[in-house]
Amino acid sequence: MKNIVLFGAPGVGKGTHANILAEKYDLLHLSTGDMLRAEIEAATPLGQRVKAAMERGDLVGDDVVIGLVDKALSSTEQGVILDGFPRTVQQAQALDFLFKRHNRRMNCVISIDAPREELVRRIHERAIISGRADDANDDTIRHRLEEYDAKTKPVTDYYKVSGLLVCIDGSGEINQTSMRLCKVVDTVVRKNNF
């Protein structure tokens, strides 16, 4: 069973590429952002709690996202590709614990990198296409990128130590990045004899 984390700044294409990889490698795509937006859309008590934080571009509390991921992992035997989690070192440590508890092993963490200007352009384009409120405001975008730099980027150091981190270039066209990602996953699959 393959278990992969896609990692990178807002706008780098984690969701797009997670969908591509999920289909190609028969993985369940777990997007904490999508899970949270579904809670907001359904007007659940959890959705009402996190709506304001997401609209400001703040990270949602660890307890909330860890709970969502735990619930998703417990409901499937399928390999997973995580997108948008972990976003802090504490969440990375919690994910290690969740994987042990659910008898899973993380195979790799793929960090997708792209220039800041390209990220901002992509986020604006996504706002037009998807109508996501958290993508439409320049202050929110700037804040989300600052949050990523301050809180999420340190997670790469956490995974470097474990030897699980692979960095790829995410600039350019979707198919170019997709080919780079598939090459990494194919290498991991061969190495681990899945």
What would the pLDDT profile of 89-132 be if each residue is shown by its tens digit? 999 999 999 999 999 999 999 999 999 999 999 998 888 887 77
Determine the pLDDT at residue 70. 93
Cα–Cα distance, 192 to 8 (Å, whole number): 24
Output the six-digit token pair for 121: 């352009």
What would the pLDDT profile of 18-47 be if each residue is shown by its tens digit? 999 999 999 999 998 888 888 898 988 888
In degrees to the nearest 10, what's the CA dihedral of 149, 55, 6, 155?
30
Domains in the chain and their CATH numbers? 3-192 (3.40.50.300)
Give the single-character DSSP code of 133: G
Output the six-digit token pair for 4: 């992969």
Start-to-end C-alpha separation, the chain: 7
Are 119 and 93 spatial neighbours (Cβ–Cβ below 8 Å)?
A: no
Q: b or e along 18-35 (b: 16 or more beta carbons within 10 Å of the residue's beta carbon)?
A: bebbbeebebbbbbbbeb
DSSP letters for 142-173: HHHHHHIIIIITHHHHHHHHHT-EEEEE--S-
Catalytic positions, please? 14, 87, 126, 132, 144
- Closest CA relative to residue 9, chosen from 89, 116, 93: 116
- Closest CA relative to residue 37, chosen from 73, 84, 82: 84
Determine the pLDDT at residue 53. 80
